Structure 1
């Protein structure tokens, strides 16, 4: 990606009046005073090395009440591990490459974008977006984008690598700021991460951790026990939260972010970034209409094939362990049974883009040989140059931070601080949610964060009379709402790479300032819904769940 030696600048024609606009302008300018994000992550990584040495020298440690199965230490202590030792330096030097190559989003993004690149090169992406926008009511564009983004959490990679950049293209095609569409989709995918109408892959993961933590107080909550926390534990509350996130996200997009971003200056975009959406809403040509119809047929055929590989008992993309264990199959959710299919979502994105794209390209004449397909893939990879450089340094920082145990220690210390307040009643959930928001700024993984905080908070809040299902629902609010404002979130670098395609001078401060209103509004609205749902209306957070423990 093209780079510039000048510091990041705010977008042109940015409104300067109003208290909120002034605050966001301040956050943007403050954030943009930071070095380039690549330099910033390199400095962060170096800082972690130095801090770990100082903390280890003073013997910083905390109690570890995680079970060994969840990564707990054998002696029950979490200690800072210094990286300025012989062992630490060896770990850094030998892990430099694997830290980069094993960084979770890297392969996901690159493989998925190979298919997306072919779709863009063939013209399918442009024609499909124009057909979609021409057929849909303009006033429903934002809520539709956010609602679809929240639902994409069932297979989160699809939201990040497909829907977020697609929303930017859609918004520009209707004459709106592309970064506005990117922000709205990012808010839905990541800020509304826990909300969904469906049971996703994160639900059984969190439920397992909650069950183990609850068993500390009551053995009946052990895995397979009569009170085991199920994957559906928060289904009702999270389904309703989907509509909350959609409504709040739409209001923030249209009433706060859109006026603040102002008008878009196309001269700030990188070369080729606007090709898919430039030209606005031109009517489809006859070859394009024919190509879209045949591409849709190809999609239907692929969908039927996927269904045959997933739905029947014993199908290749179903988890084979349930075939030999009927009892486990009877208690498993549909999502658990088709986990191999969900883990194949990146490969499916690749196939579901490239096959219709080739069909469309053959019909319209934009793809005549295999060289055209390869050209689309290579251009997609070329556009990810900045992302690759950013990921290299971000991966080192994340790995170093994990190795030193600094994030775990900060989480435990924060939990101990809240316990020292000795709060009683429903008010105790507010500092708990706020702590989860804070920890989420450092530990991007929902399961990693819950693994360290659940053994502390689940027993504590159970002793105050609340069920583990309610406690888990509160945790998921804090775990979601600050995803969009922390560089520690795995896909933050990807969002930055997408954003700089539309503004070469955009800095990390612009992204944080843009997403901050979503984060604050989601937190306030979600907490209000939680208190209303649980403590005013007394509704269950999921099927068959209680709010309070029997005395």
Structure 2
């Protein structure tokens, strides 16, 4: 275990910051396209029969493209507007205190037999609150377990396992859904310029995944992890922990008013989309595909603005109209690091697209998959495991998907897999190993919270506690995906694994 942790730490520390990683990759693309173009390398698209020739980024046209398109590459990068708009609404609800109170209120009053299951459902769904999910849920659940005479470190493990190993799915549409769908759309357009991946495209699979993972997590924590901790890891005798914060009458009133606001918003939305002549339906009167699905991010923005403003006004966080944009500004400030990273990612993907290198790799990769017959369940297993291993060393999900999507999304489109299905496979790997990666900032956060109850708890102990959740989630979630494909069920509205 120590050797494995040391290896992960060494490799992770040698990786450059994602910003410089994509700068380096962009330079490599420029040089590679120059060489391949000089060798007149090309491929034949098996879908259209058209020849795809590599264009040099060091040619006159290529150099002009690099300098004249830089701003447009960034401004027109699909995930950019999507995540900012989504964050305006979700961030406001977070800043006024609604999301933290929802997380706390969902867990603190649950009957003991359903506690662990609720922790997993709330923790997995709580990814909509981003960092707050970890910071609030881990110490809160540990305290609740301790107050009930249960092992507090088991509670912390359940919270960390839910928030980390289930991060990429939720019962709600999150900013991560918007981000990943935008990156997937950009990658899919290497093959089909008009392709669109909606944040809803994996929703059915995500909802079932939440329930399955919550049931599995409950079994692992209650029947495996906690009994082992009770036998082998005694809590320090001098532990004194403050009881969980109780919701005030004003906070309860805020939640009540927020519920009514949510009901009214959903009711008005239903009135708008139910008529067959609704402007949000397609010309045939259907919802798949339709303007409604393409407008889901603005609708999400409207929903969270409605409930966020209602809660903020009720509890006194919003005293005047000027407070609303101020909270929105605070929320977007947290995207600063992401926006800087998006700038170089947008250039990298644009170079891939303009030079036809992405199409070339996708065509050659699809031919390889077909010749080796690695296009069925074996491919799915290999792809998920590869994503899981990469995630241990590169814990930024958006950076990892930005690297993988331009290669694998078009490649698998050419062998008839929907981009949303490729994303679903990636999310399994990207989620399940979060909790065993020492490179994750929340690994240390969880360790600190656990050390409140056992001062000498080390990294190796934390890894051994979290491994059963990580491995079981990876195996069972992958099996769920394979069963889903075999049954031919839709991943989301009108979206199936195969194109």
TM-score, with length taken from structure 2: 0.64
Distance 1:398 1:38, change over 3 A: same
Deviation, structure 1 residue 184: 2.9
Query: Distance between the aligned counterparts of 1:284 and 1:402, measured in 2?
Result: 52
Residue 84 of structure 2 is matched in structure 1 by: 110
Matched, 1:90 2:74: no
Check whether the contact 1:119–1:125 (CA below 8 A) recurs between aligned residues.
Answer: yes
* CA distance in 2 between partners of 1:483 and 1:141 (Å): 22
Q: Which residue of 2 aligns with 1:361?
A: 312
Tell me by how many angstroms 1:180 deviates.
5.0
Structure-to-structure mapping, 1:125-140, within 5 angstroms: 125-136=99-110, 137-140=114-117
Report matched runs for 1:219-234 at 5 Å.
none
1:490 match: none
Among candidates 280, 283, 292, match of residue 321 of structure 1? 283
Q: Which residue of 1 aligns with 2:334?
A: 383
Q: Does 1:303 align with 2:270?
A: no
2:150 is aligned to none
Deviations 1:206-234 (A, max 9, x none): xxx9xx9xxxxxxxxxxxxxxxxxxxxx9
Structure-to-structure mapping, 1:64-463, within 5 angstroms: 64-67=45-48, 76-136=50-110, 137-145=114-122, 148=125, 162=128, 164-165=130-131, 167-172=133-138, 174=140, 175=142, 176=156, 181-188=162-169, 281-316=244-279, 318-323=280-285, 334-336=287-289, 339-421=290-372, 429-433=376-380, 452-455=411-414, 457=415
2: CA distance, partners of 1:530 / 1:382? 36
Q: What is the CA-CA distance between 1:185 and the residue it aligns to?
A: 3.6
Gapped runs of 5+ residues in structure 2? 143-155, 175-180, 193-201, 229-241, 388-399, 431-438, 447-462, 491-499
Determine if contact 1:245/1:522 at 8 Å carries over to the other structure.
Answer: yes
Residue deviations 1:321-340 (CA, integer Å, cap 9, x gap): 114xxxxx5xxxx543xx32
Shift of the 391–379 alpha-carbon distance from structure 1 to 2, 3 Å rule, reads: same
Which range is displaced more, 400-409 or 163-172? 163-172
Q: Is the 8 A contact 1:481 1:519 kept in 2?
A: no
SS in 2 for 1:296: helix
Q: 1:167 to 1:335 in 2, by over 3 A?
A: farther
Question: For 1:497 and 1:521, how far apart are their aligned partners in 2?
Answer: 20
Instruction: Give the secondary structure class of the aligned counterpart of 1:78.
Output: strand
Distance 1:398 1:311, change over 3 A: same
Residues in 2 aligned to 1:85 and 1:541: alpha-carbon distance in whole angstroms? 47
Deviation at residue 86 of structure 1 after TM alignment: 1.0
Alpha-carbon offset, residue 542 of structure 1: 4.5
Report the CA distance shift for 1:502/1:352 in structure 2 as closer, same or farther (over 3 A).
Answer: farther
- TM superposition shift of 1:476: 7.4
Q: CA deviation at 1:63?
A: 1.9
Q: State the Cα distance separating 1:76 from its structure 2 match.
A: 2.1
> CA offset at residue 389 of structure 1?
0.9
Q: 1:105 to 1:289 in 2, by over 3 A?
A: same
The gaps in structure 1 that reach 5 residues or longer are 1-17, 68-74, 150-158, 194-200, 213-233, 260-278, 324-328, 459-471, 487-495, 504-512, 544-551
For structure 1, which segment, 244-253 or 283-292, has the greater mean C-alpha deviation from structure 2 after superposition?
244-253
**Cα 1:253–1:417, aligned 2, differ >3 Å: closer, same or farther?**
farther
- Alpha-carbon distance in 2 for matches of 1:518, 1:477: 24
Instruction: For residue 366 of structure 1, give the secondary structure of its aligned residue in structure 2.
Output: coil
- Aligned match for 1:55, one of 8, 11, 36: 36
Aligned to 1:155: none
SS of aligned partner of 2:376: helix
Aligned residues: 397
Q: Deviations over 1:393-446 (max 9, x none)?
A: 11111221222333333333333334444x6xxx87344436766799677559
CA deviations 1:23-61 (Å, max 9, x no partner) are 355234312311211111111111211111122222222
Which position in structure 1 is the counterpart of 2:425?
A: 481
Q: Distance in 2 between matches of 1:182 and 1:530?
A: 20
Whether contact under 8 Å (1:436, 1:479) holds in the other structure is no
**Does the Cα contact within 8 Å between 2:56 and 2:355 map onto a contact in 1?**
yes
RMSD (Å) for aligned C-alpha atoms? 4.8
Per-residue CA distance 1:53-92 (angstroms, 9 max, x = gap): 122222222221123xxxxxxx622222211111111111
**Compared CA separation, residues 280 and 398, structure 1 to 2 (3 A):** farther
Alignment TM-score, normalising by the size of structure 1: 0.59
- Counterparts of 1:51 and 1:253, CA distance in 2: 49
Distance of aligned partners of 1:454 and 1:100 in 2 relative to their CA distance in 1, 3 Å threshold = closer
Cα offset for 1:111?
Answer: 1.4
8 Å CA contact 1:50, 1:84 repeated in 2: yes
Per-residue CA distance 1:293-312 (angstroms, 9 max, x = gap): 11211111111111111122
In structure 2, do the counterparts of structure 1 residues 91 and 393 end up closer, same or farther at CA, with 3 Å as the change threshold? same
